[in-house]
Amino acid sequence: MTLQGILLVNFIGLVLLLWVLNLVRHGRLYVGYGVIFVVTILGSLVLVSVPWLLTAVTHLIGAIFPASALTLLALCFIVLMLLYILTQITIVSNRLSKLVQELAIERARLDAKRATPDRDRDRDRVPETKQND
């Protein structure tokens, strides 16, 4: 990778790093998710900035060009993150469903409880009305 490329990647990485830290600071990103991004960004910066490390990784993966190795790693990261995010969404959705169900049941139970004394009262009132007639 050329020096210009290394500088550009480092600049983008640093901007992303600051953005992630700012999101965590404002509570708009969980610390756990933030850590994943910080570690990945730092790892990418090290990989791009140390030429022999990038060459070693390229050989290890079996790629010919370092750019191909980086693309493959990036794709793997994106797919893993996507799966992780969808898992998290499903978990939250299931929790929400459970809450909605529990709330609906509790309200229905309250309704049924309220309706039972009303029914009993109505039943008691019938003879009174007849007597008055």
Question: Given the rule CB under 8 A, which residues bind other proteins?
Answer: 94, 96-97, 100-105, 107-109, 111-112, 115
Least CB distance to other proteins at residue 78 (A): 24
Burial 9-37 (b: 16+ CB within 10 A, else e): beeebeebeeebeeebeeeebeeebbebb
Pick between residue 25 and residue 107 the one whose CB is nearest to other proteins: 107
Least CB distance to other proteins at residue 118 (A): 9
Pick between residue 107 and residue 125 the one whose CB is nearest to other proteins: 107
List, as one string, the DSSP characters of 28-49: SS-HHHHHHHHHHHHHHHHHHH
Pick between residue 7 and residue 115 the one whose CB is nearest to other proteins: 115
Least CB distance to other proteins at residue 81 (A): 23
Number of CB atoms found within 10 A of residue 38's CB: 16
Burial 60-77 (b: 16+ CB within 10 A, else e): eeebeebeebbeebeeee
Pick between residue 25 and residue 114 the one whose CB is nearest to other proteins: 114
Least CB distance to other proteins at residue 97 (A): 5
